[in-house]
A and B are shown apart, each in its own frame.
Chain A
Amino acid sequence: MDMSLYPHAVAMSADEFMTWSSAMINDLLSAGTKKTVDKLTGPIWSWAMKNSMHPLHWGLACCALEMAATSAPRYDAERFGMIYRSSPRQTDILLVNGWISKKVRPDIRRLYEQIPNPKWVVAMGECAISGGPWYDSYNTVQGLDQIVPVDIYIPGCPARPEAMIDGFMLLQKKIDDYFKRGVFMED
């Protein structure tokens, strides 16, 4: 930065100078380099991530059997790149497929925090969306979005394997969108 172009900058206090100069630097970057890098790499990240969604290997209740049936030979989930990983550190997606009792709330929160960014949360089945048939229970949480932010809701009780695949194709579109709007130096 050539400070002779900005003579009024020497009259600023330290805080003012910090805010003014970071705005200048960001402008410069986004005008040029950042936009180019985003345009080049956005499609690559989105192609990679949406074709290799790795959910967490975790089954809670009835919808978990339909999740298992989705990775069975008839409704093959692996053609979308969905490989279930056992450790949350190696996954992208937290797939919650059953009702959430009060005892398991801290574990869901801990698992959500252990998944590294960028991550998505899918609520599968009526119980995870809004409490389901157990609407008047003293021990269930009425919906997953009271604990973690949810991206995709898959309805059904239990959600058929075709519905789960449809939900994941919608998630693919969301991942596409997320990367194409630009994530270089985003944090």
Chain B
Amino acid sequence: MMAKDVLDIKAESAQMDTDKMWIIMGPQHPFSHGLWTLKIQVDGEIVKDAEPIVGYLHRGWEKEAEARPYPKIIPMADRLCYAASMTYTHLFCMTVEKALDIDIPEKAKYIRIVADEICRIQSHLMWLAAVGTDLGNLTLFLWGMREREFFMDLNVRLCGARMTTNYTRIGGVRNDTTELFDRDVMRCVERFEKVLWDLIALVDDSSIFVSRMKGVGNLTREQTVNLGITGPAMRGAGVDFDIRRDDPYDNYDKIDFDVPVMTQGDSYSRYQVRIEEMFQSCKIIRQAVKKINALGKNAPYRLKVPSNVPAGRSTARLEDPRGESLMYLISDGTDKPYRLKVRSPIFTNVSAAKPLVQGSRIADVPVIMAMIDMCLGETDR
């Protein structure tokens, strides 16, 4: 009998009818950043099919918002995306201010910008720490969390709470920036710009982590746009769109910053976009703090607003650290909303789990999903 060539055996084995197995990376799983399930169908080591299951955190947020007057919805909006809570309260206040048709004071707009960017850096650092645990880079987790503590100290300095800050109000912000706040912010930002290079070196200088991320989770520009993926995951695939620059709100058009865009479309480019965004946030914070100082101490920071909102419809959208978030309000003249809809970026990003994960290996699945940066509170609402 002739000895079979290795290539013949390989061709034969590709034709064999092997069993596919559904693995449930269930609600309790060390990789899942949040409470969701990813069911993957594997053939050996390659993933053939995937199905995300969400809804473990559904509480009917929009229905509960219809039963509360407008100021009481602000702490609820904090707990929508708990990693980036300042941006959701900002979004809600912007929507109601559009419905009321008022223009808030300049100082409030700049303070909101500073608070938003601090929130963005803090959220990206949380993401970086989580990426550390996924890749196996535990030092990145510890260093990232240490840096994040300094930004949460800034939150405490500004309004007293670390995470769910409850700071913006309809018509402005809750209180003026405290004494020497600008000194603290500048110190923090200057230190952070040097330390971020150390954090990047932990990943970039090691070929293991880079090769785990490169070429994994590829999506072309058309696929990304059609699937509805927004945010840094979209900018890593070549789409040059950022709501802060192209559809500006609250004085972002008076600040000068760049929007990082990479064209590769894999996990490594999404990682690079977020790191560059952190540097750009530092730039934005510097300019906004200078403008706050120029306005002086006695400039107004809050307007008094009526409690009843006139009937009508208004929409506002915002560049969340995770993508495009949008709120749609239908008001009916009373002090409670008639319909308040929240569009969360992670809702559509998670629905694209199947095209992202298909064709990769099991060990690549945590890396790909880590780059999407999930916060399940806003998905399930």
Contact = CB atoms under 8 A, between A and B. Distances in A.
Given A72-B149, A101-B55, A101-B59, A65 B82 contact: yes
Contact of B142 (A57, A72, A101, A136): A72
B164 A62 contact: yes
Nearest to A88: B28
A55 interface: no
A157 B129 CA distance: 23
Contact of B28 (A68, A107, A139): A107
A26 interface: no
B297 interface: no
Contact of B64 (A66, A136, A158): A136
A7 interface: no
Interface string B46-60: 000000000111111
B30 interface: yes
Given A103-B56, A104-B35, A137-B59, A158 B26 contact: no
Given A74-B149, A136-B64, A158-B164, A58 B28 contact: yes
25 contacts: A56-B28, A59-B34, A59-B35, A61-B57, A61-B82, A61-B376, A62-B82, A65-B82, A65-B83, A65-B126, A68-B129, A72-B149, A74-B145, A86-B30, A99-B57, A107-B26, A107-B56, A133-B75, A133-B76, A136-B67, A137-B59, A138-B60, A158-B82, A158-B162, A160-B162
Interface of B: 26-30, 33-35, 55-60, 63-64, 67, 75-76, 79, 82-83, 126, 129, 142, 145-146, 148-149, 152, 162-164, 376-377, 380
Interface of A: 56-62, 65-66, 68-69, 72-74, 86, 88, 98-99, 101, 103-104, 107, 111, 133-134, 136-140, 157-158, 160
The 6 closest A-B pairs by CB, nearest first: A72-B145, A62-B82, A86-B30, A104-B56, A137-B59, A134-B59
